[in-house]
Structure 1
Amino acid sequence: MTRHLSSLQFMNTFSTKLEKALNNLQLAQYPPDAVRTMRKFTSTEVAALLGVTEAYIRQVSLKGQGPEPETTTNGKRLYSLDQVLELRMHLAEKGRKKWINPRRVDGEECQVIAITNFKGGSSKTSTTIHLGHWLALRGYRVLAVDMDPQASLTSLHGALPGFDYREGDSLYSAIRYDNPIPTDRVVHKTHIAGFDVICAGLELTEFETAVALEMRKTGGTGFLLRVSQSLEQVTDNYDVVLLDCAPSLNFLTLSSLTAATAVLIPVPAHMLDVDSTGKFLELAASYMQILDAAGSGAHWDFAKFLITKFEGNDHPQANMQALMRQVFGDDLLLNAVAKSTAVADALTWKQSLYEVQRSRFSAPKTYDRAIESINAANAEIEGLITAAWGREQ
């Protein structure tokens, strides 16, 4: 029997067609001459971000101190994110509120957080982008690193000026064995002040082959240090580095876990997802045992599970949440991230919820519920970061 369908022709045909269609869609969203900008924030939002009252923000503005906000026809004051950061630093100089400038000080190590789980669809990228944007809005200097060849985190940032993974503009260029380049050359500024990215591309898959060849030559576990050595070149510029890992426990993920000072494991409260997470932990434990024996074991400030895509009125999910609480105890974050069409819509627009105006949603209350759950989870994670620095809560 002769099979008529060529695998090569099928893959080539549809990879080309899909790439063209997605490129056209991206050009429609972000034309080559377009400059992507972050939305502006009301004085109410600014007060919440800074942890002060809106009246105090208004008083500072009326005194002519700090940045001059835009005033709308109805009297609303709007601040750009750069102005929010400027205002934060202005208030920090007065020293009235401790940690209003939250950036780390001498003696506090840059926190490198690996967001990982080898179950696809567990919201690793959504968790990374929303946590990263939250921390940037709070005044931290954040670097997000796309560790996944599928490059979802990279795609969410639209057309970054000058980025082309086919030209080696990805993390792989900084961690490869042959002629690695300085890490700062693959760091991209984004339209969000305080939030930078290192992008990914298909060439990241070459790391697996390169490690296998290197291990055949030299043996040992030196590959585990490739990511950490690369990040050490730039961590002085950041307070937090987020590693958005691929949905697999490969050499790159193991290298990420070794580089990490903390780990976050997103898990939807579904039987298949929890079961898959159990297998991930079992496999990871077997690898870690080997690494410990070789003297290359990883040690973290914290490792936590985060329930994602949660529907509290779904009884099977509520039961699974109770089981997870029983099993994981304090290592399960108290706050779960709710499943929401608002999040799905925002990601379709290649934005986080923090980038989208509330008025853009047809059902603003859906946005309110989503942002409330995301804020709560992010605030809890921020607390873990500052606790690792030894700050008073």
Structure 2
Amino acid sequence: MTRHLSSLEFMDTFSTKLDKALQNLSLAQYPPDAVRTMRKFSSTEVAALLGVTEAYVRQVSLRGQGPEPETTGSGKRLYTLEHILELRMHLAEKGRRKWINPRRVDGEDCQIIAVTNFKGGSSKTSTTIHLGHWLALRGYRVLAVDMDPQASLTSLHGALPGFDYREGDTLYSAIRFDDPLPTQRIVHKTHIVGFDVICAGLELTEFETAVALEMRKTGGTGFLLRVSQALGQIADDYDIILLDCAPSLNFLTLSSLTAATGVLIPVPAHMLDVDSTGKFLELAASYMQILDEAGAGARWDFAKFLITKFEANDHPQANMQALMRQVFGDDLLLNAVAKSTAVADALTWKQSLYEVQRSRFSAPKTYDRAIESINAANAEIEGLIASAWGREP
């Protein structure tokens, strides 16, 4: 029997067609001459981000002591993210709040947080992008590193000027063994002040082959330091670096876990996801044992599980949450991220919830519930970072 379908022809045909279709879709959303901008924020939102009252924000504006916001015809004040940062620094000079300028000081190391799990669909990228944008809104200097060759986090930023993964503009260029680039050369500024990215692409898969060849030559575990060394070149420029890991426990993920100072493991409260996470932990433990014996073990400030895509009214999920609370104890974050069509819609538009105006949603209350859930989880993670720096609550 002769099979008529060529595997090469099938894969090549549809990879080309799909790539072209997605490029056209991306260009329709973000043409080459488009300038992507962050939305503006109301004085209510600004007050919440700064931890002051709305009346105080209004008084600062009326006194002419801070940035001059845009005023609409109805008298509503709108602030850009640059305005918010300027206002934050102005208030920090007045000394009204101890950590109103939250950026790290001498003696506080850059926090490198790996977001990882080898179960696909656990919301690693959504967790990374919403945490990164939240931290930037809070005034931190944030770098998000896309560690996944599928490049979902990269795709969420639309058409970045000058970026083409086919031309070696990804993390691999900085961690390859032969002639690596300075890490600063692959950092991209985004439309969100205080939030930069290092992109991913298919060439990241080459790291696996390169490590295998290097280990054959040297027999050591030096490859584990490639990510740490690359990030060390730029760590002084940031307060927090987020690593969006691939859904696999490969050499790149192991290098990320070695570089990390903290770990987040997103897990939906479903039996298959929790079961898969257990296998991930078992496999990771076996690798970590080998690394410990080789003197290359990782040490973290914290490692926490985060329930994602949670539906509180779903009885099986509630039972699974209770089981996870029993097993993980304090290592499971108190706040779960709710499943929401608002998040799905925003990601379809290649945006986080923080980028989208509430008025764009047909059901604003759905947005309210989603943003409340994400804010609570992000605030809890921010508290872990502050604790790692030794700051008082």
Question: Which TM-score band (shorter chain)?
Answer: over 0.9
State whether structure 2 residue 320 is matched by structure 1 residue 320.
Answer: yes
- The letter of the residue matching 2:77 is R
Partner of 1:52: 52
Could you tell which deviates more after superposition, 88-97 or 202-211?
88-97
Letter in 1 for 2:10: F
Instruction: Tell me by how many angstroms 1:142 deviates.
Output: 0.1
- When normalised by structure 2's length, the TM-score is 1.00
Residue 220 of structure 1 deviates from its aligned partner by 1.1
TM-score by length of 1: 1.00
3-state DSSP of counterpart to 1:382: helix
Shift of 1:389: 0.2
Residue in 2 that maps onto 1:86 = 86
Structure 2 residue aligned with 1:212: 212
State the match for 1:294 in structure 2: 294
1:124 match: 124
1:264 aligns with 2:260: no
C-alpha separation between the residues in 2 aligned to 1:32 and 1:258?
38
The Cα shift of 1:215 comes to 0.2
Which residue of 2 is the match for residue 5 of structure 1? Answer: 5
Amino acid at match of 1:168: G
What one-letter code is carried by the residue in structure 2 that aligns with 1:151? A
Question: Which 4+ stretches in 1 moved above 6 angstroms?
Answer: none
Could you give the per-residue CA deviations for residues 107-144 of structure 1, whole angstroms, max 9, x where no partner exists? 00000000000000000000000000000000000000
Structure 2 stretches of 5 or more lacking a match? none
Match of residue 26 from structure 1: 26
- 1:201 and 2:201 equivalent? yes
Q: Which residue number in structure 1 is paired with residue 241 of structure 2?
A: 241
Letter in 1 for 2:187: V
Name the amino acid aligned to 1:211. Answer: V
Query: What residue number does 1:379 align with?
Result: 379
Q: 1:102: how far off?
A: 0.1
| Paired position in structure 1 for 2:164 | 164
SS of corresponding position for 2:107: coil
Partner of 1:68: 68
Over residues 52-99 of structure 1, what are the superposed CA-to-partner deviations in whole Å (9 max), with x where a residue is unaligned?
Answer: 000000000000011000000111000000110001001100011110
User: 1:42 maps to what in 2?
Assistant: 42
Distance in 1 separating the partners of 2:30 and 2:221: 43
Q: Deviations over 1:21-67 (max 9, x none)?
A: 10110011001100000000000000000000000000000000110
Matches of 1:267 and 1:69 in 2, distance apart? 41
* Structure 1 unmatched ranges of 5 or more: none
Using the aligned pairs only, state the percent identity.
90
Amino acid in structure 2 at the alignment position of 1:238: Y
Following the alignment from structure 1 to structure 2, what is the Cα–Cα distance between the partners of residues 322 and 5?
A: 49
Three-state SS of the structure 2 residue aligned to 1:273 is helix
SS in 2 for 1:188: strand
Check if 1:188 corresponds to 2:159: no
How many residues are treated as equivalent by the alignment? 393
Task: Report the residue type matching 2:198 in the other structure.
Answer: I
- Distance (Å, rounded) in 2 between the aligned partners of 1:205 and 1:388: 33
1:242-264 superposed Cα distances (whole Å, 9 cap, x missing partner)? 00000000000000000000000
Distance 2:82 2:188 in 1: 17
Give, as a single letter, the amino acid of the residue that structure 2 aligns with 1:75.
Answer: G
Q: How far, CA to CA, are the matches of 1:220 and 1:270 in structure 2?
A: 39
2:19 maps to a residue whose letter is E
Q: Are 1:140 and 2:130 matched, yes or no?
A: no
Counterparts of 1:209 and 1:55 in 2: how far apart (Å)?
Answer: 59
